[in-house]
Structure 1
Amino acid sequence: MELLLPALGYFVWTLVAFLIVFFILKKFAWKPIISSLSEREKNIADSIATAEKVKLEMAQMKNENEVLMAKAREERSQLLKEAKELKDKIVNEAKEQAKVEASKIMADAQATIEQQKNAALTDVKNVIGNMVIEVTEKVIRRELASKTEQENYIRSLANELGTASRN
């Protein structure tokens, strides 16, 4: 049993050595150890707080980015819509201008056709008038005794002029 229980002298000297080491550690090492531990604990807490703050800022930035992206998409769709409307407007204006130009060209062509038709009718009337004058002249120059001879002569002249005008 002696092996299990130390002698009283060993016990006292161990206790005295422990107390001396305890007081030396308390006097010189305890404060620096505790201060470094508390400083480390403070640094860890600050790092955790900073990480949480950064995490919240990142979430906020992500939300802001999503809002900006949505706004950019909306602006893009608005710009595309405006561009399409502008394109349609320009195309419609070009069509209308083309229709106006075509109408003007058609009106000018019809006016030209009408002018040429009137000129042709005038020419035909002049030719017929000249033919009548020639026939009348020839009838008057030729003095015929009977009316039937005059009518036969007028018919022959009309036939003659009719064949000449066809050629």
Structure 2
Amino acid sequence: MDLILPSSGLIFWQLIGFLALLYILIKFAWKPILSSLEERENSIENALKAAEQAKAEMANLKAENEKLLQEARLERDNILKTANDAATKMIEDAKTAASTEGAKMIEAAKAVIENEKKAALSEVKNQVAQLTLEVTDKLLRKNLSSDAAQKELVEDMVKDINLN
């Protein structure tokens, strides 16, 4: 039975060795182990805080990016609207200018046609007067070839003058 139950001296020396080892561990190893654990716990806690802060910053950046994107879209829409308005105004101005220029050209053409018409009528009148004079001259020469016809014509003119 000696093997199963240790002797009291062995227990005593084992107890003194255990207490000495416990004292050495508490004195030299326990504090560094606890400080290492606390340090690790603090670093994990700081890492978690940093992760939460980074997550919050990412959310802020995402919101900021969405805001900037929305502003850019609004600005793009405004620029497109302004460009469309300017293009429409330019087209309307060009149409108005073309209509005005066309009206001026039509009026100028009408004036040229009217002037040419008047010139043609004047020329026709001149030619008719010339032809009338020539016909009258021929008729008068033929009719007034005798002295009696000339006297009769003069007497008719004098009567017309007296009547007027």
- Specify the TM-score bucket, using the shorter chain as the normaliser: 0.7 to 0.9
Q: How far off its partner does 1:21 sit?
A: 0.7
Alignment partners' CA distance in 2, 1:62 and 1:101: 57
Structure with more relative contact order (C-alpha pairs < 8 Å, separation 6 or more): 1
Alignment partners' CA distance in 1, 2:5 and 2:97: 121
Aligned partner of 1:32 in structure 2 is 32
**Residue 53 (structure 2) pairs with residue 49 (structure 1):** no
TM-superposition CA deviations, 1:31-63 (whole Å, max 9, x none): 111112111111111111011001100011001
TM-superposition CA deviations, 1:133-154 (whole Å, max 9, x none): 1111112222269xxxxxxxxx
Alignment partners' CA distance in 1, 2:29 and 2:22: 10
- Describe how 1:148-167 pairs up with structure 2 within 5 A: none
Alignment partners' CA distance in 1, 2:6 and 2:101: 126
Aligned partner of 1:137 in structure 2 is 137
Aligned AA for 2:70?
Answer: A
Aligned partner of 1:63 in structure 2 is 63
Q: Which runs of 5+ in 1 are unaligned?
A: 146-167
Alignment partners' CA distance in 1, 2:5 and 2:131: 169
Q: How far off its partner does 1:4 sit?
A: 4.6
Q: How far off its partner does 1:110 sit?
A: 0.7
Q: Alpha carbon RMSD of aligned pairs, Å?
A: 1.6
Aligned AA for 2:44?
Answer: I
Aligned AA for 1:103?
Answer: A
- Describe how 1:66-81 pairs up with structure 2 within 5 A: 66-81=66-81
Report percent identity of matched pairs: 46
Alignment partners' CA distance in 2, 1:8 and 1:18: 15
Q: Which runs of 5+ in 2 are unaligned?
A: 146-164
Aligned partner of 1:111 in structure 2 is 111
- Cα–Cα, structure 1 residues 122 and 24, in superposed 2: closer, same or farther, change >3 Å? same
Q: How far off its partner does 1:15 sit?
A: 1.5
Give SS of 1:42's match: helix
Give SS of 2:126's match: helix
Aligned partner of 1:122 in structure 2 is 122
* Aligned residues between the structures: 145
Alignment partners' CA distance in 2, 1:59 and 1:2: 73
Aligned AA for 1:55?
Answer: K
Q: How far off its partner does 1:17 sit?
A: 1.0
